[in-house]
Amino acid sequence: MPFDFKKEYKEFYMPKNKPEIVTVPPANYIAVRGTGDPNEPDGAYQQAISVLYAISYTLKMSYKTDHRIEGFFEYVVPPLEGFWWQENTDSIDYADKSAFHWVSVIRLPDFITPDDFAWAVQTAEKKKKLDCSKAEFLTIDEGLCVQIMHHGAFDDEPASVALMDTFLAENGYINDFTAARLHHEIYLSDARKVAPEKWKTVIRHPIKKSVKEHTP
């Protein structure tokens, strides 16, 4: 059976329906950065997804080509993920989608090297007639986080985020958003085939221990 990240790393891909704390180790990704409304037809986000999947499947099927990847084993392409933020705020205004900044990613197996990635970019461009120049090999170290499984449409995420924030306050943690630590989503449902109310999305936020002031 091909290696399936969702099944082998359930603690990162299948959290409970209530908030939980997790320490996420560094991982490598194919990444494309951009801005704007992700729902815009043929917009930058949709183009980014096409690039991510083109490179991902080129790597997945590399064993059928002349390119040999050391340590390769067959695997299921991991789910699409995204890191999201808006300027000058730690929260997200879901109504103002044009203000989104995002890094759209798909995880890479550890045996994929930057050289393998470069080969896949060139190969995908030739085979798919697709501009993959914005793709990058990105290592992300999320560290200490809180996460939850959100059920339903993306615009309903604030309810799940509120549960996480309450959980943090009750357990001595606070959110720790920075330029490198961002709102993170993992998409476990095919939005083209599943009704929005049945979508499953992992929501993950960076956190740290809260520091309480001590009065004499």
pLDDT for residue 91: 79
In a domain, 134, yes or no: yes
pLDDT for residue 180: 94
pLDDT tens for each residue of 58-70: 999 999 999 999 9
Q: Write out residues in the chain with pLDDT < 50, as ranges.
A: 213-215
Q: In this structure, is the dihedral angle defined by the CA atoms of residues 193, 82, 168 and 24, taken in order, positive or negative?
A: positive
Match 């043929």 to its residue by tokens.
Answer: 42
Task: Give the number of domains in the chain.
Answer: 2
pLDDT for residue 191: 84
In a domain, 105, yes or no: yes
Claim to verify: residue 14 and residue 58 sit in the same structural domain: no
Give the DSSP letter of residue 9: T
Claim to verify: residue 166 and residue 94 sit in the same structural domain: no
Claim to verify: residue 78 and residue 136 sit in the same structural domain: yes
Q: Which of 125, 140, 155 is the last residue of a domain?
A: 140
Task: Quickly list DSSP for 84-152.
Answer: EE-TT-SS--TT-GGG-EEEEEEE--TT--HHHHHHHHHHHHHHHT---TT-EEEEE--EEEEEEEEES
Domain ranges, residue 152: 10-26+141-210
Q: Which of 106, 140, 174 is the last residue of a domain?
A: 140
Using DSSP, state whether 193 is helix, strand or coil: coil
